[in-house]
Amino acid sequence: MSYSVNNHKLRVGASNAEFVRSPNIGGILVPQFLVIHYTASGPGSDIAKYFSSPAANVSAHLVVRRDGTIKQCVPFNVVGWHAGKSSWRDRRGVLHVGLNQSSIGIEIENWGPLHKAGAGWVSWTKVPVDSGSVIEATHKYGSPSGGWEAYGERQIDSVIGAARAICDAYGIEEIVGHDDIAPGRKSDPGPAWNMKSFIARVQGRDSGDPDFWVVNSPTGLNLRDGASASAALKLPAPLPNGTRVQMLEASGNWRYVSVLDALNVPTASGWVHGAYLRDI
């Protein structure tokens, strides 16, 4: 299936995606980021219809259903209300606050975190979820931990196609999760969504590349001997903003990394706080 953007609307094949207009919008949008969400809803919900109600007080540009079909609720040049209280420091070190004003939002139908119920799993609404479509994992920021509904292949393929078209049309270089721009407040798209592989496929890179990151802190980032702010420093000075590292291990919010030189040769290893790393 081919995807493209025409007059700020998504085209799927030879026709536009179904448009279900949401009144929950702001002003003109010049998109710089793409934000990925889950809907926290089941197969019987129609999230695009929900967004069409003023009472919802929320919207996103696209909704991707479990069968891979896509509905558009907001044109790509109009602000949607999907990010809420949020912030993100871009790859140039510029801090953006309130990502509604600078991002396109894609909502993916998915229950998100699940709860154990006997031998099975249930959603937050107590609806049973097939164990065959559940993965067990801890969120990259440490919580929540447990079951998560897996995303389907048709759904993933549709999101990749739409994301490629959007990024090409608007020159978007940074794709983030709602959990990245609102850590602790939001957990979507969660560990069932392989963000690194997704970004690589959208940008045409090999998703099997090593897990390279860069320091994303203008004041630098301390390298420590353990996964704690009280652990001893491994280096006398913080790693400068933009330092390239390879992630080797995770423990809660902390990441064990190797610091790389210009030739990608490791020069030191230790623990850093994951909130100050940016995927590349």
Question: Do 259 and 269 meet the contact criterion of CB atoms below 8 Å apart?
Answer: yes
Give the residue among 114, 113, 127 at the shortest CA–CA distance from 45: 127
User: Which tokens belong to 47?
Assistant: 């999230």
Catalytic one of 18, 107, 153, 174 = 107
> How far apart (Å, rounded) are the C-alpha atoms in residues 211 and 207?
10
Give the residue among 36, 51, 52 at the shortest CA–CA distance from 156: 36
Pairing mode, if any, of strands 87-89 and 95-97?
Answer: antiparallel
Is 107 an active-site residue?
Answer: yes
> How far apart (Å, rounded) are the C-alpha atoms in residues 50 and 261?
50
- Start-end of H helices in the chain: 47-51, 153-170, 178-181, 195-202
Residue positions annotated with a catalytic role: 107
